[in-house]
Each structure stands twice: as structure tokens, then as C-alpha cells.
Structure 1
Amino acid sequence: MQKKVLFSKEQIQERVAAMAAQIDSLYAGEELVVICVLKGAFAFFSDLLRNMKTDVIIDFVRLASYGNKTQSTHIEITKDVEISLEGRHVLIVEDIVDSGKSMDFFTRYLSSRGATSIRIAALINKHGRREKSIEPDFAGFEMEDGFIVGYGLDFAEKYRNLDAIYELYDFTL
């Protein structure tokens, strides 16, 4: 398996700071619930929050996708949000929006919990396999296709600790 740098540590820091400023501008004076989608978004979530000035309440969710190695057919919440969302603005922090299935499922779920508004901040907006018409409101990087790791993103639970984002090639799923 080989990898090459796609987005450097410095590029990531710059984009995360810019996204935090956009979010702060939108939610100035508002209370915001920020939900981290585990496990992949943890690094992005931490850095994003450290760059934000907005008052936030944080929570975590874990979504599991079931299906074959490359395509999910069923999504389930394995760790739910614990706080009330009724009448609150919610920002979902996700590592990557790919097919859109997970975010479509989760935004509908949060809506049923009474959130006033729901927006998505994704580190990576990957268009190549999009099946649902859902777009992140804030995106760090745009890409069409490719398998990436680092900065929270994994391959078989490895490489999450890398401080840059790498594209993997010459590997098998």
C-alpha cells in the first residue's frame, strides 16, 4: 500500500480556521449545538471548536453503516445524541460526505428531534459517489474520488493519527 499527501497539515489548519470564521459569522449571538460524528470527525471537530468563538454545546453520535465493503445499505445510530435538540440550532461535524446516505439519514433524524436548524460542516465533500442530494453547508476540501486517510480518517482503523490527509493507492479493500 502506498500513499501520497493530498492535503498538508498547513492546508488543513488554514481551511479549518476559515470554516470556523464562517460558522462564527453565521451563528453570531446564537447558542449552537455541535455534534461530532465519531470516529472519523474527532480531529476535525477538536480543531474546529478551538478555532470557533461562538458559544457551543457539544455532543457526539456514532453511526454504523452496514452493507458490503464499498457500499452501505443500512444506517443505524449506535451512540445517540444525549441532549435535547428541541428549538436549537445544530451543526453536524462530519469527516467526509461521500454517498450522502449517512448525512441524509442523520439530518432527517435530527429534524424529528425538533432542531430549529441543521447544518453540516464536512472536512471533505466527495462528489464522485453521491447518491443523495445533500451537500455540506461548510466544506473544507472538495474532491471527486479517491480513498483517503489521516486526520481522523482511517483504513481498517489505522492512520487516524496522521496530521495530513493522504490518498491511498495500490491497495485492496
Structure 2
Amino acid sequence: MGKEISEKYTDKDPIFIGVLNGSFMFMADLLRSISIDCEMDFIKVRSYVGKKSSGTIQLIKDISADVTNRHVILVEDIIDSGHTIQFLMERVSSALPKSVSIATFLIKPDIAKIDFAVDFIGFEIPPEFVVGYGLDFDQKLRHLNGVYSLESDTVV
């Protein structure tokens, strides 16, 4: 994915916006694989309580960078229902960037309901609740090296 992003954004100085807390491990690995100049920032939202979506998205920390006329790459850990990424796309797009792309570590295509393309996808997974590699269950289990399903006790 890093090579693909580097080729697409050569000489465009993109800004990567990681969605906290879940994307921090993926974003660190992704940025280490990027071979172009870039910047980074973070945004933090909350939408889950335990294994269930709360139904509302709460902005905890906004980006601090000015993204006007910039190429923005939103970095997500997982696209589940699509509500969070839809919220983030609308929020970032309102700042009038030159472009907005999405890079996600995981996507659940069977349940994601989004009106736009996801530009860079690491892996497609079934609609199970997963933890590890930054993904959590009640703020726990982010530290795990792999990605595990809480429903089937298997490595995804």
C-alpha cells in the first residue's frame, strides 16, 4: 500500500490524518513504507461502547493542520458500517482540500454502507468484531501483534 500511495502522490506533499486511537499502529507502519515527503496529523472520534456502535459519532480531537488545497489521506484502522468514515469525509471535505483519499487497514465489505470509493484497502474481513494491532475492545487488546476475532477466537 505504501508503494501505491507513494506513486500516486509523488510531488504532491500529502497530509496523512490518522483516526485515533485505532489507526496508530497501522499508520506508523504505513508511514514507514512511504517514500515521499508528507505530513501527518490526527483526529479522534468515538462511536463504540463495547462491541456495539453507539449510533452517534463524537468528535474528541480535531485536526490541527490546515488542509485547504492539500491532498489528504484519511488513515483508518477499520471500516465497519461506514458511519465513522462518512462523518470524517464530510468533516475534512468541509475544509476544502484538493483531494481526500482513504487508506484503511481492514474493511468489512458485507456491512459497509458508504457512498464513495475506498482508495487503499489492506484486507477485507467478514463481519466479526476484531481486536489487536490497534483495534480494541473497551480500550483493551490494542497491543496484540495480530488481529483476532472475539467471536470465533481465531486469527483473522
Partners of 1:95 and 1:84 lie apart in 2 by 23
Which has the higher relative contact order, 1 or 2, with Cα contacts under 8 A spaced 6 or more apart?
Answer: 1
Q: Structure 1, unaligned stretches of length 5 or more? A: 1-18
Whose helix fraction is larger, Structure 1's or Structure 2's?
Answer: 1
Q: Which residue of 1 aligns with 2:143?
A: 161
* Corresponding residue number in structure 2 for 1:13: none
| TM-score where L is the length of structure 1 | 0.82
How much does 1:156 deviate?
1.6
User: Structure 2, unaligned stretches of length 5 or more?
Assistant: none
Pick the aligned partner of 1:63 from 45, 58, 76.
45
Aligned to 1:127: 109
Deviations 1:150-169 (A, max 9, x none): 10011121111111111122
In structure 1, C-alpha distance between the alignment counterparts of 2:78 and 2:59, rounded to whole Å: 17
In the other structure, the counterpart of 1:113 is 95
Name the SS of the counterpart of 2:52 in structure 1.
Answer: coil
1:93 to 2:63 alignment: no
- Equivalent position amino acid for 1:82 in 2: S
Q: How many aligned residue pairs are there?
A: 153
AA matched with 1:114: L
Aligned counterpart, 2:66: 84
Amino acid at match of 1:133: D
Q: Which amino acid aligns with 2:35?
A: K
Q: Secondary structure at the match of 1:34?
A: strand
Query: CA-atom RMSD, angstroms?
Result: 1.8
User: What percent of counterpart residues are identical?
Assistant: 38
Q: Give yes or no for contact 2:50–2:137 (8 Å, CA) kept in 1.
A: no
Greater mean alpha carbon deviation, residues 64-73 or residues 153-162 = 64-73
Q: In the alignment, is residue 144 of structure 1 matched against residue 122 of structure 2?
A: no
Q: Deviations over 1:65-110 (max 9, x none)?
A: 2689523422122100001011000001100001111111111111
- Assess if the C-alpha contact under 8 Å between 1:40 and 1:95 holds in 2: yes
Contact 2:19 2:43 in 1 (8 A): yes
Structure 1's consecutive aligned runs of 4 or more residues displaced over 3 angstroms after TM superposition are 66-69
Native 8 Å contact 1:103 1:134 kept in 2: no
SS in 2 for 1:71: strand
> Which residue matches 2:2?
20
